[in-house]
Amino acid sequence: NIPPNLPNARPESHLFYQTRQRRPLLAEARDVYMWNVEGKRYLDGSSGAMVSNIGHSHPHVLAAMRAQMEKSTFGYRLHFETDPSERLAAKTAALMPEGMEKVFFVSGGSEAVESALKLARQYALAIGQDSRWKVISRRPSYHGCTLGALAITGYAPLTDPFAPMMQAMPKIPAPRAYLDGLDPEDPATGAHYAAMLEAEIIAQGPETVLAFIVEPIGGASTGALVPPEGYMQAVRDICTRHGVLLIHDEVMCGGGRTGRFLGADHWGVVPDIIAISKGFGAGYAPLGAMVAQDRIVGPVLDGGGFLHGYTYAGNPLACAAGLAVLSVIEAEGLVGNAARIGALLKSRLEALMEPFPFIGDVRGKGLLLAFELVADRQTMAPLPAAMNAYVDLVELAYAEGLIIYSRRTRDGREGDHFLICPPMTATEAHVDEIIEKLTAALKAFAP
Ligand code: PMP
């Protein structure tokens, strides 16, 4: 009963991504809506891949990009400084926690994470700690597709094929209290999961551990997992105690959509290095940044330089877009709107658990929200492996004119969660429309 959302016959494409599946041709996009060439309208309920945080085609950003385009679109970073990159670096540092003042631009999330790993290693070398190289991460997690970022990604189907090409890195469980039957509000729960990090550092030998990387609020891999009470602070303390650098992957949760500019701002925790991307360029430009404390960057620069960089880094057009995105977020109060509309959307999603018993959990903060489908809410057993909710519910929503984002929650084929993350410009009327369309899709899906 899954409606075909395939476009009308079009010539074989030379383009390829993950699969042979074709998608409708995008005609135009404005704010939270997108239209295909046949005029069908979609509400962008996932901001693409949690990217288009300020909505599509914002006139202020387009004007800023046009103005920059008339001046210059490229200046190689080893030849020129550019005004947009200098201004965006200053603006970014001002939005970061105290002490996070050095900014390194990249073109996306994987590059931001890769840069963080290499800065961490060069810092260890610069301070004479050559034995530190292991980066502990969590399972499940997603930190990027390049071989370095993939080595610290905790999701076997994506990593296993490339295992011989990567350095194996230690993983600890993500704090999924909802699956382990623990109370996320109880500080003992946060302490329980953080203790797993300390045990792993000790088992590995602290003198070999370089860093721990964590998404402050989980994105696609865990489905908007909010850490249990006390977890983030305990992790910070453990890293400090063992001389392990703390890297926050804010690629998805950073940029304001959780109701604070950074995910970690909810707890006031300051890491050593931050990777940020998606909402930073907000779909207007391939843009990301690694931000670090001066005490980390200083020894690396003084000790011979940072052996890392990308040709397009700090591109003036991308940086002009980034500056305009940040000014729209500020001028329109979008972080506050994400908190307010997010709370409303979350309560409306929770209300769907009544008519749809196969919704096992609703979670997230602000407009980084997700629900997880299960066979049994009591045991949280996943949907049968043969069911393809991962694709089917997305297609049903698509047919209704609603875009949602799906991931398999647990390693292997079982388990499905769906991110509901409209742009931060969403209104109460958009929440109504999302719930109405999602309800229709869930009715048609009902396992
Ligand atoms: N880290 C996280 C938390 C992400 O969600 C993503 C992208 N989904 C990445 C890193 C990689 O970013 P990109 O796809 O822009 O390379």
Q: What is the pLDDT of residues 267-298, one digit of tens each?
A: 999 999 999 999 999 999 999 999 999 999 99
Give pTM, 2 decimals: 0.97
Cα 354 to middle of ligand 1, angstroms: 33
Ligand 1 pocket, residue 416 CB under 6 Å: no
- Protein residue with least CA distance to atom 1, ligand 1: 143
Query: Would you say the C-alpha torsion 376, 431, 420, 394 has a positive or negative sign?
Result: positive
Ligand 1, residues 143, 222, 273: which to mutate, most atoms within 8 A of Cβ? 143
Residue 370's SS3 state is strand
- Cβ atoms within 10 Å, residue 205: 11
Mean pLDDT in the chain? Answer: 94
- ipTM for the complex shown: 0.99
Cα 367 to middle of ligand 1, angstroms: 17
| DSSP track, 101-146 | EEEEEESSHHHHHHHHHHHHHHHHHHTT-TT--EEEEEES----SS
CATH topology for 26-54+333-445 is Aspartate Aminotransferase, domain 1 (3.90.1150)
pLDDT interval class at 128 (50, 70, 90): very high
Rounded Cα–Cα distance for residues 111 and 424 (Å): 25
Ligand 1, residues 52, 105, 110: which to mutate, most atoms within 8 A of Cβ? 110
pLDDT interval class at 13 (50, 70, 90): confident
Please report the pLDDT score of residue 233 as a whole number: 98
Ligand 1 pocket, residue 252 CB under 6 Å: yes
Residue 396's SS3 state is helix
Rounded Cα–Cα distance for residues 346 and 341 (Å): 8
Task: Provide the token pair at 37.
Answer: 């060439």
Residue 14's SS3 state is coil
Please report the pLDDT score of residue 20 as a whole number: 76
| 352-361, long-range: CB < 8 A, 24+ apart | 352/435, 352/438, 352/439, 352/442, 353/377, 355/439, 356/442, 356/446, 358/383, 358/446, 358/447, 359/442, 361/178
Locate the ligand 1 atom nearest the alpha carbon of residue 277 and give its number: 15
Closest CA to 79 of 314, 321, 318, 323: 314
Cα 97 to middle of ligand 1, angstroms: 22
C-alpha pair distances (Å), 100 with each of 86, 302, 363:
16, 18, 29
Rounded Cα–Cα distance for residues 193 and 134 (Å): 20
pLDDT interval class at 15 (50, 70, 90): confident
Cα 144 to middle of ligand 1, angstroms: 5
What confidence tens digit (pLDDT) does each residue in 134-191 have?
999 999 999 999 999 999 999 998 999 999 999 999 999 999 999 999 999 999 999 9
Ligand 1 pocket, residue 142 CB under 6 Å: yes
Who's near 102: CB < 8 A, 6+ residues apart?
93, 291, 292, 293, 294, 296, 297
Locate the ligand 1 atom nearest the alpha carbon of residue 288 and give its number: 15
**DSSP state, 218?**
-
Ligand 1 pocket, residue 249 CB under 6 Å: yes
Name the phi and psi angles at 366, rounded to 5: 60, -135
Ligand 1 pocket, residue 255 CB under 6 Å: no
User: Where do the domains of the chain lie?
Assistant: 26-54+333-445, 61-331
Residue 413 has pLDDT above 60, yes or no: no
Closest CA to 325 of 97, 33, 108, 51: 51
What confidence tens digit (pLDDT) does each residue in 312-367 have?
999 999 999 999 999 999 999 999 999 999 999 999 999 999 999 999 999 999 99
Element (H, E) at 420: strand 416-420
Q: What is the mean pLDDT of residues 103-112?
A: 98
Q: What is the mean pLDDT of residues 188-203?
A: 98
pLDDT interval class at 408 (50, 70, 90): confident
Cα 251 to middle of ligand 1, angstroms: 6
Q: Which amino acid is at 447?
A: P
Ligand 1 pocket, residue 196 CB under 6 Å: no
Locate the ligand 1 atom nearest the alpha carbon of residue 110 and give its number: 16
Closest CA to 217 of 183, 173, 267: 267
Ligand 1 pocket, residue 144 CB under 6 Å: yes
Rounded Cα–Cα distance for residues 198 and 235 (Å): 8
Closest CA to 219 of 263, 170, 274, 267: 263
Residue 30's SS3 state is strand
Ligand 1 pocket, residue 358 CB under 6 Å: no
Cα 112 to middle of ligand 1, angstroms: 9
- Protein residue with least CA distance to atom 15, ligand 1: 109
Ligand 1 pocket, residue 224 CB under 6 Å: no
Ligand 1, residues 215, 278, 417: which to mutate, most atoms within 8 A of Cβ? 278
Q: What percent of the chain has pLDDT over 70?
A: 96
Q: What is the mean pLDDT of residues 114-137?
A: 98
Ligand 1 pocket, residue 143 CB under 6 Å: yes
Q: 């390194």: which residue's tokens?
A: 104
Ligand 1 pocket, residue 109 CB under 6 Å: yes
Class of domain 61-331: alpha beta
Residue 373's SS3 state is strand
Residue 6 has pLDDT above 70, yes or no: no
pLDDT interval class at 252 (50, 70, 90): very high
Residue 3 has pLDDT above 70, yes or no: no
What confidence tens digit (pLDDT) does each residue in 347-362 have?
999 999 999 999 999 9
In the Cβ-directed half-sphere of 154, how many Cα atoms lie within 13 Å? Answer: 23
